[in-house]
């Protein structure tokens, strides 16, 4: 949390002035009981109407000063809090954008989103609250005590005794209930999960006739939650009655003590009223303070979650090379291996091959055989854990990352578009893409009918491309990658939602591209890669075969099995 | 209009509260009591102060009596407060529990059509978030609205008893704070609306950009994205600052009004103590009581406006929740229980569409003999999955009928019909729980050996054994860290264990590599011998062995026959099949 404070630095003035004006307001409030005491002791005792009126005008004046002070304080507090969160939001967002795949994997996107949104909002509210109230409440409590001491030392001792007891009760109850509240939150998460699961899995649950069992489980979880809730409720319900008792017991003691001192002529009646009023002020502030501490703990927890993300460092070091070596192979792997951080086993290892300019490389293998891991080394989404990967003859780690990725068009497995228009999505990789280039890319990607079916390039795309079907999105993401006419094109299982005929037409069109890109096709379908110049067969993260279709059918057991599992053959009988 | 629905919602809510009406009565009585007693304390303190007029003029016996009285009153009040709070908690949490239980039961009985057409997040948030907000509102309503109103009435009563004129001063001046609060709220409404809208816009961008951060990075678009973000962020700063600042004026402003009231009471009160003619004499103690009332009286006024907005949103939440509970459930269940199904399925003249405007399946006829293997192929949206929805009776046909073993499926119970099928879908669904719990879903009584055998047959035994706790490994939300292929294997194991007489595989092996798929199919073939099965797939290699291949297009069966027959026909199916080999 302390790390986040630097985003408040630009609002130093506001963060000092806010609480300061709040203190001013509170100190003027503390004069009110004294004024009332003066009215009673001087005005009433002497029947002096003019004095009473003057004093009441003083009360109004105190109110006006209080109003001005507190509005000023609110303004500074709001400015500091909102400014702080704006800066923090920007810093966090650019920080998250700068993280590499390794960190994104480790943190997970859903938590990054909550940190970006609700956590920051909580922190903003927390900062605002602190600037406005945090100094005020303790100040009023202790101020009241100090004022009580100025009124009468002996009676004020009652305050000195009551305040620690009050603090003990308030903080004690908070300390006991806070973990319990966390427990109810967890219980709530549990029944949320159960509900969502039952909506998403409705078909399976009904197919297995598990409705009654699921309902019974839900009811048990729900009952357990309510049980904890009631228990916490009973404890926090103690807060008000206990503070009420303590304050009023103090009042009784105070009045009795006051009476003794009045009898001895050491105190006036008005002063007893003043002391009583200070006690009442403490009660009001204590309730505010307790509420505030709850929101403050929340804000602190959220602040720490944000700080955790900001502390995560990008593990990729940027290089400086902008250009490759002429006439070198487009892509060259030399004994490359990748181990994801936090994992003991290598995802892929021992990969060596050369891909010349304009060649098509097919990568095939079973589920989890390391196909995607292999190709993610080319745009340097991850750093190799052994060996080297070169693009145009230069180690990918020496490249400026943006320059490296500028050469490469990637079509990821998950076909996702971004809010905007079809055109803004196709031209996503740079503003300099011409309309003609965009149209060519759409054509090559077999996406003409998608664009025409949606009223042209200006058609609206909703968030994540929700208003397009899987197959439509896939073709548009291919067009997006083609639009910048990349030197290297990577298709990561990008045709899975396309039927075989479209898939074949797509491959034909890419082959015919005039700028002749080096193409990597990752697929589980043998038909998608069998005409590639070179096919890499992966099994459990290790290349077990490399060559043309013909060579592999002859030499590679795994490839043969994959191929014959998909195509009819005399040699196998898979009935 | 809105009023009417509000009223009916409140009526519905009352149905749930009614069960706890005894608690409610206790709560109301206690609230009345504690408020009255709380208000009585300042009077007693006033009496006490009147007993200490000056040196030598302190009436100790009178004072002690009053102080003892105060002690008793606060003890009773505190006890009453605690019991009241506890009772309110109990009512609230019980009501919410009841509503949640009922909503969940409804979810289990909603027609699939409802579930398919609503976002799962929306339904879940009604049961959880809406119920929670409703609980908060209800609790606040109980504790603050009621006691607030009681406090206002009680203070008025006591003030009028002490001095009518001073009480009138308070009554006339206090509503000013309400007016001020309302004025500020109406001014800030537009600003906070703009803030909410801008924040929503920003959240949309954050969602999209972070969810797909890897794509953003693949295209080196980080800087551009941050620029887009900053543009919204700047706008958010402007409107947030205004919204936060103006809404935070409310408190100081109402507090200022309270201070004015306080000064006015001090003045009129002090004048009255001095015996000014207009007011009627009061004592210093009474003045002190009045002053503390003036503070207490205005506080609930400030709170009530907050409580009312809270209550309004609570009712809106209850409306959504009750809307879900009142959704019509699935159509009437049949009564007959079918057992020992042999697996004959007849589809006679069936028509079906999800929406009346878009016709899907029309006049479909099909006769499947027990033990036949039916494959369904065709483009996305051709009605493959719809057919399965109808077979399992997730949806009811619009016209025509489906018979299993000669019985119309609408005449038998859904449970017995669905038990006759084993289903594996492309969307793998696993519940949070252990691997074993997931596998034994259809047969909770299966022995360990049976579970193991099913896992071996489904080729899931290998990876299950490598999991940290084997069959007892807890799988997290949505299958946790299992890969899509592993999840599919578990779903297949689940069906392998049940061995139902009929089988539905909807792209069941789409995420499993082809070699494993073949071994699984072999296992299915031997285990399911003599069982009717329906297989949807787009890998044509999976389909070739079927007894009957249905080629569907726009809800119609355009071709049917065995693989060799269809290839000979050289039509739609042959084209689809051959495209695998073409470049």
**Residue A341 sits in a domain of what CATH number?**
3.40.50.300
Q: How far is C-alpha A333 from the geometric centre of its chain's CA atoms?
A: 36
Q: Is B110 helix (H, G, I), strand (E, B) or coil?
A: coil
| A245 with B78: Cβ contact below 8 A | yes
CB A189, CB A182: distance < 8 Å: no
| Residue A160 and residue A140 share a domain | no
Q: What is the pLDDT of residue B309?
A: 73
Can you tell me the distance from the alpha carbon of B583 to that of B581, in angstroms, rounded to the nearest whole number?
A: 7
Q: Would A405 be classed as within a structural domain?
A: yes
Count CA atoms within 13 Å of residue B309 on its CB side.
8
Q: What are the domain boundaries of chain B? A: 1-151+305-330, 431-499
How far is the alpha carbon of B226 from chain A, nearest alpha carbon, in Å?
Answer: 6
What is the rounded average pLDDT for all residues in chain B? 83
Comparing alpha-carbon positions, the chain A residue that sits nearest to B216 is A97
| Residue A550 and residue A449 share a domain | yes
How far is the alpha carbon of B9 from chain A, nearest alpha carbon, in Å?
Answer: 23
CB B460, CB B490: distance < 8 Å: yes
Can you tell me the distance from the alpha carbon of A479 to that of B105, in angstroms, rounded to the nearest whole number?
A: 47
Homologous superfamily of the B1-151+305-330 domain (CATH): ABC transporter type 1, transmembrane domain (1.20.1560.10)
Q: What is the pLDDT of residue B1?
A: 36
Q: Would A122 be classed as within a structural domain?
A: yes
| B241 with A202: Cβ contact below 8 A | no
Instruction: Compute CA distances A307 → A84, A119, A304, whole Å.
Output: 14, 11, 5
Q: What is the pLDDT of residue A57?
A: 93
| Residue A130 and residue A51 share a domain | yes
From the first residue on, what is the mean pLDDT of each consecutive set of 10 residues in chain A (575 residues)? 82 90 87 88 85 92 92 92 93 90 78 81 85 79 88 88 87 82 80 83 84 91 92 86 90 91 88 86 76 73 85 87 90 92 77 94 83 91 93 94 91 85 88 90 92 88 80 90 93 79 88 93 86 91 92 91 68 37
| B74 with A207: Cβ contact below 8 A | no
Q: What is the pLDDT of residue A139?
A: 83
When pLDDT is cut at 50, 70 and 90, the band that residue B514 belongs to is: low
Sequential DSSP letters for A130-190 = IIIIITHHHHHHHHHHHHHHHH-HHHHHHHHHHHHHHHHHHHHHHHHHHHHHHHHHHHHHH
Q: What is the pLDDT of residue B489?
A: 85
| Residue A232 and residue A306 share a domain | no
| Residue A95 and residue A11 share a domain | yes
Beta bridge partners of B401: B348
Task: Using a pLDDT cut of 90, give the percent of chain B over it.
Answer: 17
B182 or B515: which leads in pLDDT = B182
| Residue A157 and residue A147 share a domain | no
Q: Which domain holds residue A257?
A: 153-266
- Across the interface, of B226, B441, B511, the residue whose CB is closest to A210 is B441
Q: What is the pLDDT of residue B448?
A: 92
Q: What is the pLDDT of residue A491?
A: 93
Among residues B435, B445, B446, the alpha carbon closest in space to that of B468 is found at B435
CB B288, CB B46: distance < 8 Å: yes
B416 or B513: which leads in pLDDT = B416
Comparing alpha-carbon positions, the chain A residue that sits nearest to B139 is A233
DSSP assigned state of B358: B
CA pseudo-torsion sign A367, A370, A374, A380? positive
Query: pTM score, two decimals?
Result: 0.72
| Residue A542 and residue A493 share a domain | yes
| Residue A169 and residue A200 share a domain | yes
Q: What is the pLDDT of residue A40?
A: 86
B2 pLDDT more than 50: no
| Residue A243 and residue A111 share a domain | no
- Chain segment B409-463, per-residue pLDDT in tens: 999 998 889 888 888 877 778 888 899 999 998 888 999 999 999 998 888 887 8
Say how many CB pairs under 8 Å bridge A and B.
Answer: 430
Fold of B431-499: Rossmann fold (3.40.50)
* CATH code for the domain in which residue A86 is found: 1.20.1560.10
Can you tell me the distance from the alpha carbon of A457 to that of A250, in angstroms, rounded to the nearest whole number?
A: 77
B191 touches chain A (CB under 8 A): no
| A269 with B292: Cβ contact below 8 A | no
Here the tokens at position B215 are 């794509």
Q: Would A284 be classed as within a structural domain?
A: no
**Best of A33, A41, A56, A504 to disrupt the B interface by mutation (most B CBs within 10 Å)?**
A56
Q: Is A36 helix (H, G, I), strand (E, B) or coil?
A: helix
CA pseudo-torsion sign B106, B108, B111, B113? positive
Q: What is the pLDDT of residue A204?
A: 84
Q: Would A446 be classed as within a structural domain?
A: yes
| Residue A220 and residue A145 share a domain | no
Domain count, chain A: 3
Among residues B570, B580, B549, B534, the alpha carbon closest in space to that of A566 is found at B580
Instruction: Compute CA distances A69 → A28, A134, A549, B252, B258, whole Å.
Output: 10, 16, 82, 9, 16
- Chain segment B82-123, per-residue pLDDT in tens: 999 899 889 989 999 999 999 999 988 888 888 887 777 678
Phi, psi for residue B13 in degrees, rounded to 5:
-60, -40
Q: What is the pLDDT of residue B196?
A: 83
CB B500, CB B422: distance < 8 Å: yes
B244 touches chain A (CB under 8 A): yes
Q: What is the pLDDT of residue B582?
A: 45
B176 or A556: which leads in pLDDT = A556
B528 pLDDT more than 90: no
Q: What is the pLDDT of residue B507?
A: 75
- Across the interface, of B70, B491, B522, the residue whose CB is closest to A252 is B70
| Residue A94 and residue A182 share a domain | no
| Residue A205 and residue A116 share a domain | no
- Across the interface, of B58, B485, B518, the residue whose CB is closest to A368 is B485
Q: Would A500 be classed as within a structural domain?
A: yes
Q: How far is C-alpha A213 from the geometric centre of its chain's CA atoms?
A: 35
User: Mean pLDDT across the stretch B203-212?
Assistant: 84
| A259 with B512: Cβ contact below 8 A | no
When pLDDT is cut at 50, 70 and 90, the band that residue B583 belongs to is: very low
Any idea which residue has 């854990």 for tokens? A385
CB A336, CB A388: distance < 8 Å: yes
Phi, psi for residue A525 in degrees, rounded to 5:
-90, 125
- Chain segment B132-170, per-residue pLDDT in tens: 888 878 877 767 787 888 888 888 888 888 888 888 888
User: Mean pLDDT across the stretch B366-385?
Assistant: 81
């Amino acid at each position: 949390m302390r790390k986040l404070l630097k985003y408040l630095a630009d609002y130093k003035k506001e963060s000092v002035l806010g609480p300061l004006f709040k203190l001013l307001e509170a100190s003027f409030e503390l004069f009110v009981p004294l004024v009332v005491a003066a009215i009673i002791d001087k005005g009433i005792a002497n029947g002096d109407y003019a004095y009473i009126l003057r004093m009441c005008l003083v009360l109004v004046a105190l109110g006006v000063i209080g109003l001005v002070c507190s509005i000023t304080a609110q303004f500074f507090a709001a400015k500091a809090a909102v400014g702080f969160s704006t800066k923090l939001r920007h810093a966090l967002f650019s920080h998250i954008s700068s993280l590499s795949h390794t960190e994104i994997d480790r943190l997970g996107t859903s938590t990054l989103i909550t940190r970006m949104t609700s956590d920051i909002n909580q922190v903003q509210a927390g900062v605002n609250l602190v600037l406005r109230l945090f100094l005020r409440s303790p100040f009023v409590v202790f101020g009241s005590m100090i004022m009580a001491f100025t009124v009468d030392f002996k009676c004020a001792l009652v305050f000195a005794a009551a305040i620690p007891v009050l603090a003990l009760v308030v903080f004690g109850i908070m300390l006991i209930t806070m973990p319990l509240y966390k427990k109810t939150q967890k219980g709530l998460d549990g029944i949320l999960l159960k509900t969502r699961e039952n909506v998403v899995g409705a078909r399976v649950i009904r197919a297995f006739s598990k409705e009654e069992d699921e309902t019974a489980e839900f009811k048990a979880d729900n009952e357990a939650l309510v049980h904890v809730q009631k228990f916490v409720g009973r404890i926090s319900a103690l807060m008000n009655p206990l503070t009420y008792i303590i304050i009023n017991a103090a009042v009784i003691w105070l009045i009795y003590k006051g009476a003794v001192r009045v009898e001895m002529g050491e105190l006036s009646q008005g002063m007893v009223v003043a002391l009583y009023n200070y006690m009442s002020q403490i009660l009001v502030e204590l309730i505010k303070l307790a509420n505030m501490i709850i929101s403050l703990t929340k804000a602190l927890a959220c602040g720490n979650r944000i700080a955790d993300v900001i502390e995560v460092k990008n593990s990729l070091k940027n290089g400086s090379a902008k250009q490759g070596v002429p006439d070198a192979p487009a892509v060259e792997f030399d004994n490359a291996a990748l181990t994801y951080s936090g994992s003991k086993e290598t995802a892929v290892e021992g990969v060596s091959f050369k891909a010349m300019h304009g060649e098509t490389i097919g990568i095939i293998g079973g589920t989890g055989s390391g196909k995607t891991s292999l190709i993610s080394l080319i745009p340097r989404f991850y750093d190799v854990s052994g060996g080297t990967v070169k693009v145009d003859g230069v180690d990918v780690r020496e490249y400026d990352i943006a320059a490296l990725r500028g050469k490469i068009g990637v079509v990821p497995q998950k076909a996702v578009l971004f809010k905007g228009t079809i055109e803004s999505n196709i031209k996503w990789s740079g503003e300099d893409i011409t309309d003609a280039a965009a149209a060519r890319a759409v054509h090559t990607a077999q996406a003409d009918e998608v664009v025409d079916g949606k009223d042209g390039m200006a058609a609206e795309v909703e968030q994540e491309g929700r208003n397009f079907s899987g197959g439509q999105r896939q073709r548009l993401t291919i067009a997006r990658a083609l639009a910048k006419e990349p030197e290297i094109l990577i298709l990561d299982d990008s045709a899975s939602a396309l039927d075989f005929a479209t898939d074949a037409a797509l491959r034909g069109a890419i082959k015919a591209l005039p700028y002749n890109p080096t193409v990597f096709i990752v697929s589980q379908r043998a038909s998608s890669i069998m005409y590639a110049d070179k096919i890499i067969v992966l099994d459990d993260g290790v290349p077990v075969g490399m060559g043309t279709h013909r060579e592999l059918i002859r030499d590679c057991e795994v490839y043969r099995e994959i191929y014959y599992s998909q195509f009819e053959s005399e040699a196998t009988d898979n009935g | 209009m809105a009023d009417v629905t509000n009223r009916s919602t409140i009526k519905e809510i009352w149905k749930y509260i009614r069960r706890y009406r005894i608690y409610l009565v206790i709560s109301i009585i206690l609230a009345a009591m504690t408020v009255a007693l709380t208000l009585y304390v300042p009077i007693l303190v006033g009496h006490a102060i009147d007993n200490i007029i000056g040196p030598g003029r302190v009436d100790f016996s009178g004072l002690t009596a009053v102080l003892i009285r105060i002690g008793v009153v606060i003890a009773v009040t505190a006890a009453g407060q605690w019991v009241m709070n506890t009772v309110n908690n109990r009512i609230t949490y019980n009501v919410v529990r009841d509503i949640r239980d009922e909503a969940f039961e409804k979810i289990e009985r909603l027609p699939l059509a409802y579930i398919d057409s609503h976002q799962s997040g929306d339904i879940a948030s009604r049961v959880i978030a809406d119920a929670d907000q409703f609980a908060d509102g209800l609790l606040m309503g109980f504790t603050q609205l009621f006691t607030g109103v009681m406090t206002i009435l009680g203070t008025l009563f006591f003030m009028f008893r002490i001095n009518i004129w001073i009480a009138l001063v308070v009554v006339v001046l206090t509503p000013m704070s309400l007016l001020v609060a309302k004025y500020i709220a109406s001014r800030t409404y537009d600003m906070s609306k703009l803030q909410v809208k801008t924040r929503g816009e920003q959240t949309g961008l954050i969602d999209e950009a972070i969810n797909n951060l890897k794509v953003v990075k693949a295209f080196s678009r980080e800087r551009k994205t941050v620029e887009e973000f900053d543009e919204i962020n700047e706008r958010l700063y402007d409107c947030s600052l205004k919204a936060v600042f103006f809404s935070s004026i409310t408190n100081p402003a109402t507090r200022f009004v309270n201070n004015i009231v306080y000064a006015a009471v001090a003045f009129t009160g002090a004048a009255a103590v001095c015996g000014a003619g207009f007011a009627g004499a009061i004592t210093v103690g009474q003045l002190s009581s009045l002053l503390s009332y003036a503070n207490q009286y205005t506080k609930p006024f400030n709170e009530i406006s907050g409580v009312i907005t809270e209550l309004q949103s609570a009712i809106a939440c209850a409306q959504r929740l009750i809307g879900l509970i009142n959704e019509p459930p699935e159509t009437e269940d049949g009564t007959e229980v079918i057992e020992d199904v042999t697996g004959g399925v007849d589809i006679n003249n069936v028509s079906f569409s999800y929406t009346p405007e878009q016709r899907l399946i029309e006049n479909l006829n099909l006769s499947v003999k027990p033990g036949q293997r039916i494959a369904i192929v065709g483009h996305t949206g051709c009605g493959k999955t719809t057919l399965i929805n109808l077979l399992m009776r997730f949806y009811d046909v619009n016209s025509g009928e489906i018979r299993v073993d000669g019985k119309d499926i609408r005449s038998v119970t859904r449970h017995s019909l669905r038990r006759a099928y084993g289903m594996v879908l492309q969307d793998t669904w696993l519940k949070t729980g252990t691997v074993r719990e997931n596998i034994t879903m259809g047969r909770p009584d299966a022995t360990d050996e049976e579970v193991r055998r099913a896992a071996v047959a489904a080729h899931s035994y290998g990876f299950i054994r490598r999991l940290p706790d084997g069959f007892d490994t807890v799988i997290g939300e949505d299958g946790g860290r299992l890969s899509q292929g592993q999840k599919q294997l578990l779903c297949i194991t689940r069906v392998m264990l049940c061995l139902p007489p009929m089988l539905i595989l909807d792209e069941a092996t789409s995420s499993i590599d082809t070699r494993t798929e073949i071994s699984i199919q072999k296992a299915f073939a031997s285990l399911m011998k003599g069982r009717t099965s329906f297989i949807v797939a787009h890998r044509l290699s999976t389909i070739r062995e079927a007894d009957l291949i249905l080629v569907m297009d726009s809800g119609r069966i355009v071709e049917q026959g065995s693989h060799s027959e269809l290839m000979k026909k050289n039509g739609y199916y042959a084209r689809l099949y051959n495209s695998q080999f073409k470049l």
